[in-house]
Amino acid sequence: MEKLIDRSDFLKLIDNGDTLLVGGFGLSGTPLTLIDELAASDKKDLTVVSNNLGEEGRGLGKLLLTGCLKKAKGSYFTTNRDAVQAWSDGKLEIELVPQGTLAEAIRCGGAGIGGFYTKTAVGTKVAEGKEEREFDGETYILEKAIKGDVSLVKALKADTLGNLVYDHTGRNFNKVIATAGKIVIAEVDEIVEVGELEPLEIVTPHVYVDYVVKNKYEKKGGKYIGS
Amino acid sequence: MGLERIKIAKRVAEELSDGEVINLGVGIPTLIPDYLGDKKVYLQSENGLLGMGPTPDDEDINMDLISASKKPITMDTGASLFDSSDSFVMIRGGHVDLAVMGALQIDQYGEIANWAVPGKTILGVGGAMDLVAGAKRIIIASRHLAKDSSPKLVKELTFPSSGVRKADMLVTEHAVFKFTDNGTELIEILSDMSVEELRKITGADFTYGDE
């Protein structure tokens, strides 16, 4: 099966109203090229599940400028003033999820698990309306798994089969996000032949990955230039 | 003002033990590594690293090797990398020995409010609630008073709670407090304040010595 696609073909995989799971912590491990394609498109009513919404005008922050987002679900949006503004103007719904709950909910989504009980957020506003249950004398709340229509991940390298390796802390949410979308698209810096990646270094096995797109940005001085 | 923050960081550094795995929150806690002396601890960064090292030289910066504050970092000898779900297995599963974090308010039993201010936009929680629920020990490192001069240590929280789990200790520029089921205990004064003066700028009652 041919997994390598051109970035211009990526938008055909996205429908209006889709829920997109997007890897990244701030701008690290973020599929910047795929986000650019989305930002230049006329897609609308998208829900994005990601730890943050990038920064102002950068990464997922670009989607706030085009109005294609209906909702964002993640753990930390405060530092992106555009996100705060869009929310204040009533143009963006925001659902806050503690970071560990976000990671675990996506992991469960990819693992065929419907939900899980956690002690995180018990007794807080985040727990309002959620089922509480005691285990061994401690209170837990029920959190539902998170799944997406499409997962967008960023890896350092892919082989043509779709095996992925990541760059240091650029791994972050990408590993679980690659398991939890109906369609999974990986943006990478480099595509190599099957056999060139060490089995020991592969973090995401190819079974999870449907498509691979080569990124358009070059990394210099540790940063993606022009992104 | 910077000096007060350093004073707090130095005092918290005394609480750290050799070999501990520690997660440091934003603000004052990030100053602590500079005051560890000969102690060897392992810094956990919730975006996927155990064994965080110092800031790299400019030519060695990789923005895919960053701290949870999104600053470039290096890896210590013996460091390991993992994904976000494994990172929170570490945090929520009780494998992190100590979390040092800031607070907006803390009540007399050590309940923490450190993610939202009432009446202001609440759009970020990050990993705060996970750390509050899961770290083996929690130390709050904070200025004694908020920017509006109100005490941070209060009888009852008026800011939204970060969880039912209580902090073990509070270190400010003036004092070190311990929290128990009976309330707050002053264990050390760090400035030239008397106990009575300290009571005047503290919103919760506390015991001291044999009283």
Which one of B46, B173, B196, B211 is the catalytic residue?
B46
Rounded to the nearest angstrom, the minimum Cα separation between B190 and chain A is 33
Report ipTM for this prediction. 0.96
Q: Average pLDDT, whole number, for chain A?
A: 97
Instruction: Give the domain range for residue B44.
Output: 2-208
φ, ψ of residue A12 in degrees (nearest 5): -65, -20
Tens of pLDDT, residue by residue over A98-138, are 999 999 999 999 999 999 999 999 999 999 999 999 999 99
Asked if A116 has any chain B CB less than 8 Å from its own CB, the reply is no
Set out the domains of chain A in order of their start, with CATH numbers.
Answer: 7-115+146-216 (3.40.1080.10)
Distance CA A73, CA A47 (A): 8
* B194, B200 Cβ separation under 8 angstroms: no
Q: Which of B58, B81, B88 comes nearest A99 by C-beta?
A: B88
B46 a catalytic residue: yes
The reported pLDDT for the residue numbered A1 is: 59
> Alpha-carbon distance A105 to B88, whole Å?
12
A4-63 confidence digits (pLDDT tens): 999 999 999 999 999 999 999 999 999 999 999 999 999 999 999 999 999 999 999 999
Using CA atoms, how far apart are residues B24 and A69, in angstroms rounded to an integer?
Answer: 33
pLDDT score of B152: 98
A66 touches chain B (CB under 8 A): no
With the C-alpha atoms ordered B24, B28, B30, B36, is the resulting torsion angle positive or negative? negative
Chain B contact present for A137, CB below 8 A: no
Per-residue pLDDT, B117: 85
Q: According to the model, what pLDDT value does residue B89 have?
A: 98
- Percent of chain A whose pLDDT exceeds 90: 97
Whether A122 and B164 lie within 8 Å, measured CB to CB: yes
Per-residue CA distances from B48 to A168, A185, B11, B79, B204 (Å) = 8, 22, 27, 11, 37
Number of domains in chain B: 1
Coil vs helix vs strand at A124: coil
CATH code of the domain containing B162: 3.40.1080.10
* Whole-number pLDDT of residue A150: 98
**Contact map slice: B 171-210 vs A, CB within 8 A:** none
From first to last of its 211 residues, chain B has per-residue pLDDT tens of 589 999 999 999 999 999 999 999 999 999 999 999 999 999 999 999 999 999 999 999 999 999 999 999 999 999 999 999 999 999 999 999 999 999 999 999 999 999 988 877 778 999 999 999 999 999 999 999 999 999 999 999 999 999 999 999 999 999 999 999 999 999 999 999 999 999 999 999 999 987 6
| pLDDT at residue A179 tops 80 | yes
Residue A76: its chain B contacts at CB < 8 A? 123-126
Which residues on B lie below 8 Å from A156 (Cβ)?
Answer: 64
Residue of B nearest to A122 (CA): B163
Nearest to B127 by CA among A97, A138, A130: A97
Residues in A closer than 8 angstroms to B61, CB to CB, are: 221-223
In sequence order, which residues have a C-beta less than 8 Å from that of residue A215 and are 6 or more positions away? A31, A32, A33, A154, A187, A188, A189, A224
Which residue does chain A place closest to B49, by CA atoms? A169
Angstrom distances, CA of residue A98 to CA of A18, A122, A206, B127, B139: 23, 11, 29, 6, 20
Residue bearing tokens 């929680």: B125
Question: Which B residues 133-172 touch A at CB under 8 Å?
Answer: 133-134, 160-165
Q: Beta strand B137-141 with B98-101: parallel, antiparallel or unpaired? A: parallel
